[in-house]
Chain A
Amino acid sequence: MAFAITVNGKKRSVKVDGDTPLLWVLRDELDLKGTKFGCGMSFCGACTVHLDGIPIRSCITPVSRVGNAPVTTIEGIGDSEVGRKVKAAWLALDVMQCGYCQSGQVMAATGLLKRIPQPTDRDIDDAMSGNLCRCATYTRIRAAIKQAAGLPTDDTREV
């Protein structure tokens, strides 16, 4: 079946079965390899993209359910002011180790800051706990979110 979807502001047409997850449409049909496969069941968040500005798990989202809602991926997130700041903070603080989860982390973090520009640590916990980082770069992810929000990055908490 043919589906017309909008990805990073561009109209794209793909011919796939309707149950094909958006993840595989992005990666293997549209050659947008930045969105990653980790678990296929929404447990890890590596496949996070924005649908209508909201972070979703593309691995369990059939392409038939996308409709007219705009899709934003890591390849396009830098076009928004918040996305640009998040990416800049990620690089300035050298967040990544292997980097495999980091496009999903950046998408989740951008979604958080669009919703809550000055998040608390609790907000960060709530928004980011669905995104696994196998290298466990959580210290720097938290700091980078704060940096992107213009908040102090030193973690002096005792939780």
Chain B
Amino acid sequence: MAGPDAVELSRRAFLTTGLAAGGGLLLTLNLTHAAQASDPIAVVPAAGAELNPFISIAPDGVVTIVAKNPEVGQGSKTMLPMLVAEELDADWSQVRAEQALLDPIYGPQFAGGSMDTPLNWEPMRRVGAAGRQMLILAAAQAWEVPAAECDASHAVVQHRASGRTLSYGALATRAAGLPAPDLQSVTLKDPKDYRIIGQFTGGVDSARVLEGQPLFGIDTELPGMCYATYEKGPVFGSRVVRANIAAVKAMPGVRDAFLIRGSGPEAVFQMGLVDGVAIVADSWWQTQKALEKLRVVWDRESSPGQSTAEFERRAAALARELPQAIIRRDGDIEGAFSHAHKVLEGAYSYPFLAHVDLEPQNCTAHYKRDGSVEIWAPTQNPAPGRTLVAATLGVDEGRVTVHMTRVGGGFGRRLSNDYMVEAAVISKRVGRPVKLLWNRRQDIQHDAYRPAGFHYFKAGLTAEGRLDAFRDHFVTFGQADQVASAAGLPGDHFPAGFVPSLEYGQSLIELRAPTGPLRNPGGNALAFAFESFIDEAAHAAGRDPLDFRLELYGPDRVIPSPPRSGRPQPPFDTSRARGVLGLVAEKSGWRHRGELPRGTGLGLAFYYSHYGYFVEVVKASVLPDGTPKVHKIWAAGDVGRQIINPAGAYNQAQGGIFDGLGAALHQRIVLEGGRVVQENFNTYGLLRMREAPPVEVHFRITDNPPTGLGEPPLPPVLPALCNALYAATGKRIRKLPVDPRELRSA
């Protein structure tokens, strides 16, 4: 049950995060305090009168709504304003969404953990309702009638008794002069009255993207700007000894080339500034031509033991020993195994993965003569980037302005801000605005990788075919005795709590490469191992894998979740798990799978993560050369009582499923001597159109707070695929990516 702890929320004085009635996360924004915050960079150009930091209304009725979080393709720049506009009773055709600057006035600003919805569902609606209340009061004052006699709808306030009306545009200036109401006091709509929430709403910037407008970070252009490339050592953490700087400087268009010293040995793991050579030129193509001439001597050309093959040998050796640490132990595991009717074991593993955002890492920075810094960055997590820039350059944070550009894919990579500090340092050195753009090799070879992992499972079954004992010796990665970023196994991970005797043990392999969260951190790896082995257990028990799971979850009940990063978490509701399992079984024809032709199989897997309950069924067979063929995928998800924007919701679910499918079929980052081998999409594959089967997505609406969809749909597809391949061929995939040679008919 991986929680969204990828991002540590920064708590600010006027922000409190808590658990709302009904189990949802509630974030409270106090706009009165926020309006008093005196931040010199809190300048979002308001089109018209500003009712609060999120809402401005122009005399012509155009409503500008600030979207506070970065848009990385998750749809926040459309969805967050929809929440405000709904309760404001604005006319969506008159709404313009505007990306916020990084500013404490808006509270936490990040894209991660599928948290846009759970953190903003209620506060953004309250912001809109507060604006509506101010507009009604402004009209009441104009008419000298009680506010209670007035209503608002479709951007117009009406006095019921007299029938008089005033448009929002006409009222905005007067409303802006009124005190902001306490957000907790405002009344929210009955959901049956929603006109915007729940409607298929296209992305607010989509038309501009298709006109080729410069919205992305890579499109930033400033007067006097030059272009930069930054070459780091292929061995992580290596330092520059010397480089042929003079030869590089002699290349056409090159303005400067220089060594940059990193911030220290830990910077490589913290995604800070590390050693490298910067080349600055009049065009980016010229930086790449000069880069071909660059020869750097690094202090280390290889890192002993830091190879994928060596890690595999080390994991197998560790598995023969006792775990170095026990994460969780329930019941009497050895006793349960000795009494078990049947015992099975399985060794599972998965590789390192890169994020490969299609827009390569980049940032445009301008270190100005007055010592201030202005940044244009495609980042998911601008606040730590600003801190990193300020600390590295030795400037006050208040002197660093961060513009959040549209982001050409995040997937967790851009929670780190290494590209941001590099651009700022290079700009300071050359005294001009600089656009730093990584090439694809640099992007793949300098990532914060999804950690590889090894699971040595053992399960004990009763004579009735029930799961009675479960053990995982998880061999993962760390630095010294610390588990590497995104490389942990939560103690409450399923089936913990659902099996009488259970042990999760852990051993670490030293890793000298950075790791970090990738879309559904933890779940994107753990689901494959655990849900495949659960499927093995079901087959060993002679049970239908669906029935086996339904029985494991047991009767409908609510199981409390432990807090994560100090934040309370909603409980796990077995009725929601069983609900989506039943729904997908019905839609996929699961109970009739015996009628499928020989060689075609259905596989099923469930995963709960980021508050979302998702189950997927894959229908697959295998071509004669062993290549898996996916015929169709069915998904059922439960993210609460409201799908806010169906346009985004189905797209996220389908895309997340294909993302997982591509990882299962193609993706593997290989380390050799501390270097990443892969360089481009020819050796690191993404799913392509011809491999993308039809996907049916079904949402089960339950009376729970709405939660996010960026991550929960991804994990189940990996084990569902492998379970389908088992059903089709009798061959069990225990190592990712799927190796067609293992599936070839003999």
Write the residues of chain A forming the contact surface with B, with a CB cutoff of 8 angstroms: 16-17, 19-21, 24, 28-29, 31-41, 43-44, 46, 73-75, 78, 87, 90-92, 94-103, 106, 124-126, 128-142, 155-159
Contacts and interface: CB of A to CB of B under 8 A. Distances in A.
Interface stretch (B333-341, B352-360, B507-515): B352-360
A142 B689 contact: yes
Contacts of A155: 694
A41 B360 CA distance: 14
A131 B358 CA distance: 11
Given A21-B285, A132-B688, A136-B687, A43 B210 contact: no
26 contacts: A31-B221, A34-B211, A38-B359, A38-B440, A39-B681, A41-B682, A43-B682, A44-B358, A74-B211, A90-B206, A91-B202, A91-B210, A98-B408, A99-B206, A100-B359, A124-B689, A129-B689, A129-B691, A132-B686, A134-B686, A136-B692, A138-B658, A157-B694, A159-B629, A159-B632, A159-B694
A20 B651 contact: no
Interface in B391-418: 406-411
Contact of B360 (A38, A95, A97): A38
Interface stretch (B25-33, B69-77, B303-311, B609-617): B69-77
Contacts of B74: 97
Interface string B667-705: 000000000000011100011111111110000000000
A20 B205 CA distance: 31
A32 B439 CA distance: 20
B358 A46 contact: yes
B695 A139 contact: yes
A6 B637 CA distance: 50
B265 interface: no
Interface string B178-222: 000000000000000000000011110111011111111011010
B284 interface: yes
Interface in B352-395: 356-360
B117 interface: no
Contact of A134 (B218, B285, B409, B690): B409
Contact of A102 (B72, B210, B227, B407): B210
Contact of B73 (A39, A128, A135, A138): A135
A41 B206 contact: no
B655 interface: yes
Given A28-B227, A100-B216, A133-B358, 20 more contacts: A16-B285, A21-B285, A29-B283, A36-B216, A36-B218, A36-B359, A38-B440, A78-B210, A91-B210, A94-B648, A98-B407, A98-B410, A103-B212, A124-B689, A125-B689, A129-B691, A139-B692, A141-B689, A156-B694, A159-B630
Interface residues of B, number: 72
A137 B651 contact: yes
B662 interface: yes
A129 B657 CA distance: 18
Contacts of B648: 94, 97
A98 B211 contact: no
B631 A158 contact: yes
B408 A96 contact: no
A153 B594 CA distance: 31
B619 interface: yes
A20 B440 CA distance: 17
Contacts of A91: 202, 206-207, 210
A87 B631 CA distance: 29
State the main secondary structure of chain A at its contact with B: loop
A108 B215 CA distance: 21
Interface string B91-133: 0000000000000000000000000000000000000000000
Interface string B628-663: 011110000000000000011001101111110010
B490 interface: no
B23 interface: no
Closest 5 CB pairs of A and B: A34-B212, A98-B73, A100-B408, A136-B658, A97-B73
B252 interface: yes
A133 B211 CA distance: 18
Contacts of A136: 654-659, 662, 686-687, 692
B406 A139 contact: no
A37 B631 CA distance: 32
Given A94-B651, A128-B689, A136-B655, A102 B209 contact: yes
Q: Which of B205, B358, B680, B687 has the most CB of A within 10 A?
A: B358
Given A36-B218, A159-B632, A94 B356 contact: no
Contact of B689 (A39, A40, A138): A138
Contacts of A46: 358
Given A91-B210, A94-B206, A158-B694, A33 B631 contact: no
Contacts of B206: 90-91, 94-96, 99
Contacts of B682: 41, 43
Contacts of B619: 158
Contact of A20 (B285, B632, B658, B690): B285
A38 B209 CA distance: 16
A36 B215 CA distance: 12
